[in-house]
Structure 1
Amino acid sequence: MMMKQRLFGLPLLTALGLMAVTVPAGFGLYSAPMAQAQEDEKPERNSKKVDSLRANIYEKIAKAQEKLEKGEKAEAVEDLNDLLEDKINDYETAIVYQILASSVYIEEENYKQAIVEYEKILKLERIPESLQIASLNALAQLYLVDEQYKKSIEYMKKWMATQTNPGPSPYYFLAQAYYGLEDFKNIVPNITKAIELGRARGDEPKENWYLLLRLAYFELAQYEKVAEVLEFLTVNFEKPEYWRQLAAVYSELGQEKKQFATMEVAYRQGYLDKESQLINMAQLYLYHSVPIKSAWVIEKGMKDGIIEKNAENYELLGQAYLNAQEMRKAEEPLRLAAKDGDDGEIWMRLGQVFAEQERWKEALPPLQKAVDSDDLDEPGYAHLLIGMANFNTDKLDDAKKAFRAAAKFDETEKAAKQWVDYTNKEQQRRAQLTEYYGGGGQ
Structure 2
Amino acid sequence: MNFIKTIKSLPMALAAVAIVTATSLTVSGGSAVYAQEEQASQQETRKVPAMSLDIHKKVQKAQEALDLDDVVTAEALLQEALEKRNINDYERAVVWQIKAMISYGKEDTQGTIHAYEQILKYKDSIPVALELNIIYGLAQLYFTEEQYDKALKYVGIWEKQVDPSIISVSNQVFIAQLHYTLGDYKKSLDYLYAAINTAKSLDTVEVKENWYQLALSAHWELNQYDKVRDVLETLLINWPKPLYWIQLAGVYQELGEDKTSYSITEAAYKQGFLDDKEIQLLQMAQIQMAREAPIKCAWVLEKAFKEKRVEQNAKNLRTLGQCYMQANDYKKAIAPLTKSASLDADAALWLQIGQVQMQLDNMKGAVDAFDSAIEGFKKDKAKEAKEKLFTTTMMRGQALTELKRYDDARDAFADASKLADDRRDKKTITQWKSYLKAEEEREKMLTGR
Shorter-chain TM-score bucket reads 0.7 to 0.9
- 2:163 counterpart letter in structure 1: Q
After TM superposition, the structure 1 stretch with the greater mean CA deviation from structure 2, 321-330 or 250-259, is: 250-259
- 1:193 counterpart letter in structure 2: A
Tell which has more relative contact order, 1 or 2 (C-alpha 8 A, sep 6+). 1
Deviation at 1:140, TM superposition (A): 1.7
Task: Check the 8 A contact 1:53/1:91 in 2, yes or no.
Answer: yes
Match of 1:3 in 2: none
After superposition, the Cα gap between the structure-2 partners of 1:221 and 1:24, relative to the gap in structure 1 and judged at 3 Å, is farther
Match of 1:209 in 2: 211
Do structure 1's residue 163 and structure 2's residue 149 form an aligned pair? no
After TM superposition, the structure 1 stretch with the greater mean CA deviation from structure 2, 367-376 or 323-332, is: 367-376
Task: Check the 8 A contact 2:295/2:327 in 1, yes or no.
Answer: yes
Deviation at 1:76, TM superposition (A): 0.7
Deviation at 1:250, TM superposition (A): 4.2
- 1:25 counterpart letter in structure 2: A
Show CA shifts across 1:5-40 (max 9, x none).
xxxxxxxxxxxxxxxx963524134548xxxxxx78
Deviation at 1:145, TM superposition (A): 2.0
Query: What is the distance in 2 between the residues matched to 1:349 and 1:130?
Result: 80
> Of 55, 80, 83, which aligns to 2:81?
83
Do structure 1's residue 49 and structure 2's residue 47 form an aligned pair? yes
Match of 1:96 in 2: 95
Query: What is the distance in 2 between the residues matched to 1:40 and 1:284?
Result: 62
After superposition, the Cα gap between the structure-2 partners of 1:44 and 1:276, relative to the gap in structure 1 and judged at 3 Å, is closer
After superposition, the Cα gap between the structure-2 partners of 1:368 and 1:109, relative to the gap in structure 1 and judged at 3 Å, is same
Do structure 1's residue 236 and structure 2's residue 255 form an aligned pair? no
Find the residue that maps to 1:218 and give its secondary structure. Answer: helix
- 2:97 counterpart letter in structure 1: Q
> Of 336, 352, 356, which aligns to 2:355?
352
Do structure 1's residue 286 and structure 2's residue 293 form an aligned pair? no
Deviation at 1:104, TM superposition (A): 1.0
Q: How does 1:337-416 map to 2 (within 5 A)?
A: 337-374=340-377, 379=388, 382=392, 386=396, 389=399, 401=413
- 2:11 counterpart letter in structure 1: V
> Of 318, 321, 330, which aligns to 1:318?
321
TM-score (norm 2): 0.74
Query: What is the distance in 1 between the residues matched to 2:220 and 2:186?
Result: 11
Show CA shifts across 1:220-248 (max 9, x none).
34444344433433333333333334444
> Of 339, 343, 353, which aligns to 1:336?
339
Q: How does 1:259-270 map to 2 (within 5 A)?
A: 259-270=261-272
Find the residue that maps to 2:13 and give its secondary structure. Answer: coil
> Of 306, 309, 312, which aligns to 2:309?
306
Query: What is the distance in 1 between the residues matched to 2:54 and 2:237?
Result: 60
Find the residue that maps to 1:79 and give its secondary structure. Answer: helix
Query: What is the distance in 2 between the residues matched to 1:210 and 1:218?
Result: 12
Task: Check the 8 A contact 2:249/2:261 in 1, yes or no.
Answer: yes
Task: Check the 8 A contact 1:294/1:320 in 2, yes or no.
Answer: yes
Find the residue that maps to 2:309 and give its secondary structure. Answer: coil
Query: What is the distance in 2 between the residues matched to 1:193 and 1:52?
Result: 41
After TM superposition, the structure 1 stretch with the greater mean CA deviation from structure 2, 183-192 or 129-138, is: 183-192
After TM superposition, the structure 1 stretch with the greater mean CA deviation from structure 2, 217-226 or 173-182, is: 217-226
Task: Check the 8 A contact 1:150/1:177 in 2, yes or no.
Answer: no
Query: What is the distance in 1 between the residues matched to 2:192 and 2:323?
Result: 46
Task: Check the 8 A contact 1:156/1:170 in 2, yes or no.
Answer: no
Match of 1:123 in 2: 121
After superposition, the Cα gap between the structure-2 partners of 1:62 and 1:151, relative to the gap in structure 1 and judged at 3 Å, is same
After TM superposition, the structure 1 stretch with the greater mean CA deviation from structure 2, 119-128 or 316-325, is: 119-128
Task: Check the 8 A contact 2:294/2:327 in 1, yes or no.
Answer: yes
Query: What is the distance in 1 between the residues matched to 2:270 and 2:421?
Result: 46
Q: CA RMSD in A?
A: 4.1
Query: What is the distance in 2 between the residues matched to 1:23 and 1:420?
Result: 86
Q: How many residues align?
A: 406
Match of 1:139 in 2: 138
TM-score (norm 1): 0.75
Deviation at 1:282, TM superposition (A): 1.9
Percent pairwise identity? 35
Task: Check the 8 A contact 1:233/1:242 in 2, yes or no.
Answer: yes
Query: What is the distance in 1 between the residues matched to 2:403 and 2:41?
Result: 98
Find the residue that maps to 2:126 and give its secondary structure. Answer: coil
Deviation at 1:75, TM superposition (A): 0.8
What stretches of structure 1 of length at least 5 have no aligned partner? 1-20, 33-38
Deviation at 1:83, TM superposition (A): 2.4
Task: Check the 8 A contact 2:38/2:129 in 1, yes or no.
Answer: no
